[in-house]
Amino acid sequence: MTIREFKMPDVGEGLTEAEILKWYVQPGDTVTDGQVVCEVETAKAAVELPIPFDGVVHALLFEEGVTVDVGQVIISVETGEAGGGASAEATAAAPAASVAPVEAAEEPAAAARQPVLVGYGVSQASTKRRPRKAPAEAAPSRNGTAAPTAVPAQPQAAAAPAAPNGAARALAKPPVRKLAKDLGIDLASVVPTGQGGVVTREDVHAAATAALTAQPAAPQQAPAPAAPVAAPAPVAVPVAAGASARETRIPVKGVRKVTAQAMVGSAFTAPHVTEFITLDVTRTMKLVQELKDDPDLAGLRINPLLLIAKAVLVAIRRNPDVNASWDEAAQEIVLKHYVNLGIAAATPRGLIVPNIKDAHTKTLGELSTALSELVATARDGKTSPADMQNGTITITNVGVFGVDTGTPILNPGESAILAVGAIKLQPWVHKGKVKPRQVTTLALSFDHRLIDGELGSKFLADIAAVLEHPRRLVTWC
């Protein structure tokens, strides 16, 4: 029997880690090539990982809820192949000898990237490490354990660069360096326990805990001590033990973490302007009902959001300059001749904004199908990173929560975002008389570097005009 190892692949674009959400197999289970063995969450989406060979599960090396660096072995499998053991990347292009299972992929003649599924696979860059000197007695592996036999240092490996104060630069993986930076820990002061003097996550957490303990206690009103801020936890953890805990700390990671970073970057990079308009959408609501009763559209999901999306596309056609992005490096405005229409979706893992590619080319029926698929995929947590990239303009429907309107923040890289408020019966002057009408408020936030007040106002007014008189969906196309 041969023990083959499956490493955490780079399931996104240069991502360095992923959290194991759920194991679908246990030790002793039989697995086949292509069978999904676990689900992981990256900073962009949840992804299912298939095993690239047949065999029987030997061991699961990490529990659910643990964040694992790309390249670390997460599961080992007994196969019927002859040989002394092998290590496999996510693509399992070429198994390596068992004497150094986790370093096999770092050989110069490694196989080219062969994705298993569209959107993920292991690239050469994700498995190679910077050349460095290693102690003669053992070579460090990706999961922090020494290989059974000595692996000579590569000839081109140079000594670690010196720190500004003359001390040797601490050895650590990029995710560990980021963790130390986030916790305010100087890596040079951390005692490494990893093979070859490598600083591990545990070392950083230990240093943070020691620093917290060494600080003089500040006066507190509550007698219960707070939980150490450095302690990692896959679930919400009370800051004080017992039923009287008054606070809960929730680790920010995955989709929620990347969303927070993106929103901060957008808010303080693009100069936001928000405009509002309140309008009578009674005719649009009547059209929604008529379309639901239309046999030609049977089986399709027809709702106000569908016609609002169509109204936005018509308004973009009339005001094409709103569909643009800002190239900071080149100091250029990039006009887009396509519309990737984003739809903000609230999911259990946080807010995501997948987009409908080339929405401007779709018929009403095609747009309805695309919207339904987008929402269903987002709710299931299966939205791929590619579905959230290259958006141009976004719609966020806050009305489903009973909210009248808001001032939405731009999705990074996009020119505008439209917030749709709740549609309610309100008194409205219609044909000279006050009558109950279906009324809503739209709010448009836009990047003032790309869209000036006049263009933004015309764009918003055109959206409202289509929704007030939906026949313009035909006359303005």
Catalytic residue numbers, as ranges: 448
Cβ–Cβ contacts within 10 Å for residue 81, how many?
A: 14
Instruction: Determine the Cα–Cα distance for residues 407 and 169; give it in Å rounded to an integer.
Output: 46
Which residues on neighbouring strands pair with residue 279, listed in sequence order?
440
What is the residue whose two structure tokens read 């995710």? 175
- Which of 238, 250, 243, 245 has the alpha carbon at shortest distance from 223? 245
Cα(363)–Cα(345) distance, integer angstroms: 22
Longest dimension (CA), the chain: 91
Report the first-to-last Cα separation within the chain, whole angstroms. 67
Residue found by looking up tokens 């299972």 in the block:
101
**Half-sphere exposure for 105 (CA within 13 Å, toward CB):** 30
Which of 348, 353, 344, 341 is closest to 380 using CA atoms?
A: 348
Q: At 420, which helix (H) or strand (E)?
A: strand 416-420
Q: At what angle do helices 282-292 and 304-318 cross, to 10 degrees?
A: 120
Instruction: Name the pairing type of β-strands 55-60 and 73-79.
Output: antiparallel
